[in-house]
């Protein structure tokens, strides 16, 4: 961000115009999305990935993230949500896709039934914990429902779900219970975990929500590989802006402590081989398909450097199935972080340039070249 802060003053008006557009393009600061994903598309199209890639999506409202689309028919999704309306809609939308399975089940660390608090005004805020402020608060009114709750380990033992390669969890504070009920599944070969968290403390999370989840993930050799977060300004600050005749600022601005945090945990396969003593339990060896899946996870989250490094480190094993030199070429892409803040700024600047005159946008072009470098010379 040093370059952004040092841009000369005459560009400020243009930066002020483009920053709000950049924030509007991100409903939430999500983990990076690599839409290009050339390596993944290649191994899928050529049949080099011989096993399905199994995604367990806990809190599947809206369906699985678009980042998984390059996996095509190799992707198998088991989505879970206790809201019957959500599961019914997803099942209807995917009735012709046999690899999509949606279950009207809550997940936790018990098998049975439990109260679930459905928020009809904002279903994404529904939770296993009561969220509203009272029965007279119409906006936050919740409908208590009795729902089936299961452990992922129980579903795995009963053969109702296969071993997962990746787990995504977004359950409004109930993440710890989901992980505690999935220890066998996690230890069976899970390569990556995406969970929503925060840095707050509570009776359920006395060491903070993030620290608790990070410790559970580390037990399975899953390390932090990426972080994205929102900022929410405090209400007193917003009121002070209004008192000055200014508009309150929106979420995702540069004011406020980190609020909602998305974290990507992955296994570091190179570190496990080179430094096994870093871990308190033995490092589990991977098959060739699992190795390819780990590289796919890195690439789909914009971590092409990690993916390429892994290809080079395990070139001999990978060479049994694929062209390692081609894999390196496909992964050597410098611009692959689709939800990165500078990527969004670049796109907004380009759109703004196209909508105004060449003379007016001259300082803006200078700013773009200063931040992102000069355009590449034609081949």
**CATH number of the structural domain spanning residue 215:** 3.40.50.150
The mean per-residue pLDDT over the stretch 116-130 comes to 86
pLDDT at 335: 82
User: Encoding tokens for residue 135?
Assistant: 């029965």
Element (H, E) at 84: helix 84-93
Instruction: Give the CA-trace dihedral at 288, 154, 207, 284, to 10 degrees.
Output: -20
Could you give the CA distance from residue 168 to residue 146 in angstroms, rounded to a whole number?
24
Could you give the CA distance from residue 188 to residue 198 in angstroms, rounded to a whole number?
27
Which residues face 57 on adjacent strands? 79, 168
- 63-67, 160-164, 231-235: the lowest-pLDDT one: 231-235
Asked whether the predicted pLDDT for residue 59 surpasses 90, the reply is yes
144 located within any domain: no
Highest-confidence segment of 278-287, 302-311, 361-370 = 302-311
Asked whether the predicted pLDDT for residue 339 surpasses 50, the reply is yes
Read off the pLDDT of residues 90-105 as tens digits, 9 standing for 90 and up: 999 999 999 999 999 9
Query: For residues 91 and 102, is the Cβ–Cβ distance under 8 A?
Result: yes
Query: For residues 343 and 51, is the Cβ–Cβ distance under 8 A?
Result: no
Angle at 28 between CA 22 and CA 32, to 5 degrees: 80
Asked whether the predicted pLDDT for residue 72 surpasses 50, the reply is yes
Query: For residues 272 and 221, is the Cβ–Cβ distance under 8 A?
Result: yes
Could you give the CA distance from residue 49 to residue 130 in angstroms, rounded to a whole number?
43
CA distances from 120 to 116, 247, 321, 362 (A): 12, 29, 50, 49
297 located within any domain: yes
Query: How many independent structural domains does the chain possess?
Result: 1
Read off the pLDDT of residues 4-53 as tens digits, 9 standing for 90 and up: 444 444 444 444 444 444 434 444 568 999 999 999 999 999 999 999 99
- Under the banding of pLDDT at 50, 70 and 90, the label for residue 349 is low
pLDDT at 353: 54
Could you give the CA distance from residue 88 to residue 266 in angstroms, rounded to a whole number?
32
pLDDT at 376: 43
Could you give the CA distance from residue 331 to residue 314 in angstroms, rounded to a whole number?
15
Highest-confidence segment of 5-9, 115-119, 238-242, 293-297 = 293-297
- Under the banding of pLDDT at 50, 70 and 90, the label for residue 273 is very high
User: Who's near 47: CB < 8 A, 6+ residues apart?
Assistant: none
SS3 of residue 240 by DSSP: helix
User: Which is nearest to 54 in space by CA: 296, 274, 276, 226?
Assistant: 296
Read off the pLDDT of residues 137-192 as tens digits, 9 standing for 90 and up: 545 578 999 999 999 999 999 999 999 999 999 998 999 999 999 999 999 999 99
pLDDT at 220: 96
Domain that holds residue 218: 27-108+154-338
Asked whether the predicted pLDDT for residue 235 surpasses 70, the reply is yes
Mean pLDDT for all residues in the chain: 85
Q: Write the burial class of residue 66 (CB in 10 Å: 0-12 exposed, 13-18 middle, 19+ buried).
A: exposed
- Under the banding of pLDDT at 50, 70 and 90, the label for residue 361 is low
- Under the banding of pLDDT at 50, 70 and 90, the label for residue 121 is confident
The mean per-residue pLDDT over the stretch 201-228 comes to 96
Q: What is the DSSP letter of 17?
A: H
Could you give the CA distance from residue 201 to residue 9 in angstroms, rounded to a whole number?
41
pLDDT at 70: 97
Query: For residues 75 and 99, is the Cβ–Cβ distance under 8 A?
Result: yes
CA distances from 30 to 23, 283, 294, 338 (A): 12, 30, 20, 10
277 located within any domain: yes
98 located within any domain: yes
pLDDT at 125: 83
- 162-171, 251-260, 354-363: the lowest-pLDDT one: 354-363
376 located within any domain: no
177 located within any domain: yes
Could you give the CA distance from residue 160 to residue 157 in angstroms, rounded to a whole number?
8
Query: For residues 151 and 181, is the Cβ–Cβ distance under 8 A?
Result: yes
The mean per-residue pLDDT over the stretch 103-119 comes to 95
Whose structure tokens read 């039934």? 113
368 located within any domain: no
CA distances from 368 to 17, 205, 293, 373 (A): 14, 44, 36, 7
Buried b or exposed e, range 73-87, using 16+ CB within 10 angstroms: ebbbbbbbbbbeebb
pLDDT at 255: 86
200 located within any domain: yes
Query: For residues 55 and 118, is the Cβ–Cβ distance under 8 A?
Result: no
Strand order, beta sheet including 100-103: 100-103, 75-80, 53-58, 166-169, 192-197, 258-266, 223-231
């Amino acid at each position: 961000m040093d370059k952004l802060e040092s841009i000369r003053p005459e560009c400020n008006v243009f930066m002020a115009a483009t920053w709000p557009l950049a924030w509007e393009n991100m409903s939430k600061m999500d983990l990076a999305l690599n839409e290009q994903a050339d390596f993944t598309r290649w191994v899928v199209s050529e049949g080099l990935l011989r096993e399905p890639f199994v995604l367990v999506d806990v809190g599947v409202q809206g369906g699985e993230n678009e980042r998984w689309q390059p996996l095509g028919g190799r992707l198998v999704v088991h989505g879970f949500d206790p809201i019957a309306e959500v599961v019914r809609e997803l099942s209807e939308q995917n009735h012709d896709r046999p690899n999509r399975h949606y279950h009207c089940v809550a997940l936790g660390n018990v098998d049975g039934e439990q109260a679930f608090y459905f928020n009809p005004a904002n279903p994404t805020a529904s939770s296993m914990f009561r969220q509203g402020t009272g029965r007279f608060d119409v906006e936050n009114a919740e409908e208590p429902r009795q729902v089936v709750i299961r452990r992922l380990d129980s579903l795995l033992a009963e053969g109702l779900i296969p071993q997962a390669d990746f787990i995504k969890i977004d359950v409004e504070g109930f993440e710890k219970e989901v992980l505690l009920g999935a220890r066998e599944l996690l230890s069976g070969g899970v390569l990556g975990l995406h969970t929503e968290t925060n840095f707050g403390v509570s009776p359920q999370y006395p060491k903070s929500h993030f620290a608790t989840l990070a410790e559970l993930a580390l037990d399975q050799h899953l390390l932090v590989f990426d972080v994205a977060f929102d900022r929410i300004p405090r209400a007193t600050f917003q009121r002070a802006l209004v008192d000055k005749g200014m508009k309150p600022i929106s979420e995702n601005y540069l004011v406020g402590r980190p609020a909602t945090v998305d974290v990507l945990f992955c296994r570091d396969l190179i570190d496990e081989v080179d430094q096994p003593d870093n871990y308190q339990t033995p490092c589990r060896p991977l098959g060739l398909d699992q190795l390819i899946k780990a590289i796919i996870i890195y690439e789909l989250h914009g971590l092409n450097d990690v993916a390429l490094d892994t290809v080079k480190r395990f070139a001999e094993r990978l060479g049994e199935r694929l062209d390692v030199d081609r894999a390196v070429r496909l992964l050597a892409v410098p611009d692959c972080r689709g939800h990165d803040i500078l990527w969004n700024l670049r796109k907004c600047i380009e759109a703004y340039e196209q909508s105004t005159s060449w003379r007016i946008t001259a300082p803006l072009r200078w700013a773009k070249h200063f931040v992102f470098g000069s355009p590449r010379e034609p081949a």
